Structure formats: structure tokens, C-alpha cells
Amino acid sequence: MAKSNNHNESNTLNPFSPQHPAQPNQFAGRHKEVDYFRSTALNSAKMPTPAPLNYAVLGTWGLGKTSLVYEYRHIALEELRKSTHCVTLHCALSPQSCRNWESFTTSLLAAAKSKEVNATQTIKSRVGKEISRWEPRVSVAGVGVQRRRDEGSTDLLTNLASLWHKHLEPSGTDIAFILLDDLHYFPIKAEESAYLTLRSTFQELVNQGCNYSLIVTAHSGLFTEIAEVAEPLIRFFKISELQPFTLAEAKEAIEKRLKTSGSQLSIDDAVVERAYEKTAGHPYLLMFTLHELVEMLRPSTHMREAGFEENWPQVDALLGETLFRQKFLSASEKERDLLLKIAKSKEVGVSPKNFKAPNVLFTRLEQKELLIHEDRGRYVLFHPLFREYLANQ
Ligand SMILES: Nc1ncnc2c1ncn2[C@@H]1O[C@H](COP(=O)(O)OP(=O)(O)OP(=O)(O)O)[C@@H](O)[C@H]1O
Ligand SMILES: [Mg+2]
């Protein structure tokens, strides 16, 4: 009896979880980015004189930056395992870890001593042992990092160089990928631009024979902002600007969720198409919509178009209350006025001169990811559903 209950429960699991990046077995689409990474990563691993490519994944919130970086890590560790030996180090940045260069150094070195390091199976235990013997030296106290103010160098360069030469290379590592998620937390106009220091550090590491490749994510506006103060950093990366899903990608993402969770839910193509239309293929909004629909339609396990139409107004209202309202409140009063005017204007794409508003208001709204800067000074609200939400205020 208990067994059959369990079986029934697992049959109706809700596999859609907008808050969490996709794991590799749930990952869909992005073929251009993934194919490019697969071939260039292998090339970078095999070059006798290190010259690794660095990658920047850009996109506004919820477009799938972290999911893509998880996929890159999976490719490095699993798909390429027969051809090369990789190490990956994942570091999720935060405003705190990016306060200044020292705090960044401390967090990155602490991540390098933690479970955030992984390696191709065949070298994994050796790398693990080597890292436990590695003693990074920094001048500020940090978690898992030894404090030796009086000895050795205090900078990221020296520590990462010693990690490579004394530990990673001797363990058979061909390349180490350093994944920095949410790089935009670095203040742009901090003391000396941290962005330039980042480039000079990693350029010098490669110059010293260390095969480190940087993979960063950031919101789309960052590189435009950086261009003014740290233009060379932009040339240091191969940039991928993420777009919303195509319909095929949306279908694949939904199918994979259903399949990997073993859920018995069935979702008609017409529902996927309607959800895709409403969300304009935005990955987070799509996952949110599917998650809520599954809950609203319980105990039914078959999602039909009629069920979608009936419940969509409720999903839409939830998006407004839980997401769009918060986004709107993150703007200042003046910015909110402008957002409302933009939403109520006839044109979808607008420019500052249409509103007699200072450019800086537009720039700030872009930094807050509420407006997207299209070409030639034209801005649009970040999503059509947000526009509808504002127009109804
Ligand atoms: N390629 C993908 N395949 C399947 N699901 C995806 C993919 N990309 C994104 N998603 C889903 O979309 C949602 C947002 O993805 P993710 O967290 O990776 O975006 P993000 O750009 O890193 O967001 P944030 O700006 O909040 O950091 C998650 O629910 C994730 O599972
Ligand atoms: Mg993310």
C-alpha cells in the first residue's frame, strides 16, 4: 500500500523549478554556444604553449547564464574526459566578495580550497590531494585560507601560479577553468579598476605558463559600461549574448524536465506553444509558468490548452504580485514615473528624447535590468508581460 502511494506521488512530481539553474541533464538548446565551447576548450587544453580562450556569457536576469556555465563545466569534466584532463573551479560572486580586489582574492582562493573544485575523474583524487597540500598566502583573513602576513606574496597572481606549477600541472592537469558567476558585482569605478586587474592577472598567469581559462557571467549592460573604463577587458573574452529560448529550445527544456524527473505529467504541444508565446521564450518566466500551471491543475496529470487558457490569468496575476512588483519597486520614484510613461506610450521602443528625461535615468534602469538597450539609443521594457503589468497600474 505504502509502495503504491509512493508510486503515485512520484507520478505527479512537479519538475519545474524556476529558482534553480538547470543541471546538465535538464539542460536544453544553446547549441551555438555549447559547440563553440566544446571545440575551443579542447583546443585550449591541448596547446603546447598555453593560449587559452576566455568566455563571457552575458544576458539579463533569468536568461540562463548560470545554467550554461554549469553545462560548460559538465562538458569539461565529462564530455572531454577521454581527450583531456580538466580542473574546474566555480566561484559564485556576491556584492560582498567584490567589495575590493582583496576580498575578491580571498573568496576566489577560498573557493579553490573548497568543494567548488572538481577534476576529470582520472586525475580527481590526485588533484584533491595536491590542493589539500597547497597553502595560499594572503594578507587578509579569509575562510579556509591561511594568514601569513609576513611571508610570501599577497596577491592572486602568485597564489594561482604556485597552484598551477606545484600542484595542478604535476597532477596531470591540461587546463583549469575558473568560473566566475555574476561578475557585475564588481563596482565599475572602484579604486583601480578591478576589471583591468583581472585581465592583467590572467594574462600574466598565461604568460608564466599556467593554462587558466576564465569563464564569466554578467548582465548584458556590464560590458557596455566597462567599455568606458576598461575596454581591453572586452577584447579579452569571447562574448556570448544569450537570447530567449527558441520554441524548439523551450520544448526541449520542458521535455527534459519531465523525463529526468520520471514525472508522468503530460503536456500538450499547444500548451507549450501558448506558454512560449506568453513568456516570449524567457527561460525563467517559462519555468515559473509551467511550475504554477502544474500546481493549479492538480490532481490532473494531463495539461491541455483549455486548462492553460483557464489558468493563465491566475499565473499572470502571480507574476505581477511576486515578480514584476518587486522589480518595479527596485526603481526610484523618478525611474518608476518614467517606466510607467514608457509602458503607456504607443511605441514599444523609445528613446530619452521622446520623454524629455535625462539619459542617466535610462542608463540606471538598464543597470537595474528593467530596460534593455537596443541599437541606436532605443530602449524597451525588459519583457512584454512587464509592460502589460505597468500599463495596468
Ligand atoms: N539551457 C537551459 N535549459 C533548461 N533550462 C534552462 C536553461 N537556461 C535556463 N533555464 C532555466 O531558466 C531559469 C533561469 O536560469 P538561470 O538561473 O541559469 O539564469 P541566470 O541568467 O543565471 O539568472 P540570474 O540572472 O538570476 O542569475 C532556471 O529555472 C533554469 O532551470
Ligand atoms: Mg545566475
CATH number of the domain that residue 345 is part of: 1.10.10
Domain boundary (206, 241, 276) is at: 241
Same domain, 253 and 232: no
Q: How far apart are the first and last CA of the chain?
A: 52
Strand duo 212-218 + 117-119: pairing: unpaired
For residue 213, list its beta bridge partners. Answer: 177
Same domain, 202 and 264: no
Residue 38 pLDDT: 96
Tell me whether the omega of the peptide bond preceding residue 50 falls within 30 degrees of 0, making it cis: no
Cell, residue 326: 518587486
Residue 2 pLDDT: 38
Strand duo 212-218 + 175-181: pairing: parallel
Closest atom of ligand 1 to 68 CA is 1
Nearest CA to ligand 1 atom 4: 27
Residue 151 pLDDT: 34
Which positions of the chain have pLDDT values less than 50? 1-8, 142-143, 147-154
Same domain, 321 and 343: no
Same domain, 335 and 387: yes
| 18 located within any domain | no
Same domain, 378 and 316: no
Cell, residue 337: 514615473
Phi and psi, residue 220, nearest 5°: -60, -35
Same domain, 314 and 296: yes
Give alpha helix (H) positions in 47-172.
Answer: 65-74, 101-112, 121-133, 156-162
Same domain, 41 and 160: yes
Protein residues whose CB sits closer than 6 Å to any atom of ligand 1: 18, 20-22, 26-30, 59, 61-67, 253, 283-284, 287
Q: Which amino acid is at 88?
A: T
Nearest in space to 81 (alpha carbons), one of 51, 52, 124: 124
Same domain, 109 and 94: yes
Nearest in space to 171 (alpha carbons), one of 111, 112, 120: 120
User: CA 244, CA 63: separation in Å to the nearest integer?
Assistant: 6
Domain boundary (174, 206, 241) is at: 241
Nearest CA to ligand 1 atom 9: 64
Strand duo 371-373 + 379-381: pairing: antiparallel
Nearest in space to 69 (alpha carbons), one of 214, 194, 249: 214
**Which bin fits 30, alpha (ψ -120 to 50), beta or left (φ > 0)?**
left
**Most informative mutation of 31, 67, 72, 75 for ligand 1 (most atoms within 8 A of CB):** 67
| 4 located within any domain | no
Same domain, 207 and 107: yes
Closest atom of ligand 1 to 286 CA is 12
Domain boundary (327, 352, 379) is at: 327
Same domain, 112 and 159: yes
Pair 61, 23: CB distance under 8 Å: no
- How many angstroms does the Cα of residue 66 sit away from the middle of ligand 2? 4
Ligand nearest to the CA of 20: 1
User: CA 297, CA 279: separation in Å to the nearest integer?
Assistant: 19
Ligand nearest to the CA of 64: 1
* Residue 382 DSSP SS3: coil
Nearest CA to ligand 1 atom 15: 64
| 85 located within any domain | yes
Range of the domain at 197: 30-241
Cell, residue 61: 536576469
Q: What is the chain's Cα-based Rg?
A: 23
| 364 located within any domain | yes
Nearest CA to ligand 1 atom 6: 22
- How many angstroms does the Cα of residue 160 sit away from the middle of ligand 2? 25
- How many angstroms does the Cα of residue 133 sit away from the middle of ligand 2? 32
CATH number of the domain that residue 45 is part of: 3.40.50.300
Number of domains in the chain: 3
| 9 located within any domain | no
Same domain, 166 and 191: yes
| 22 located within any domain | no
| 319 located within any domain | yes
Same domain, 133 and 84: yes
- How many angstroms does the Cα of residue 205 sit away from the middle of ligand 1? 31
Nearest CA to ligand 1 atom 7: 64
Phi and psi, residue 150, nearest 5°: -85, -20
Closest atom of ligand 1 to 217 CA is 22
Residue 221 pLDDT: 81
| 374 located within any domain | yes
Cell, residue 11: 507520478
Query: DSSP states of 290-358 as a string?
Result: HHHHHHHHTT--EE-HHHHHHHHHHHHHHHIIIIIHHHHHTS-HHHHHHHHHHHHSS-SSB-HHHHT--
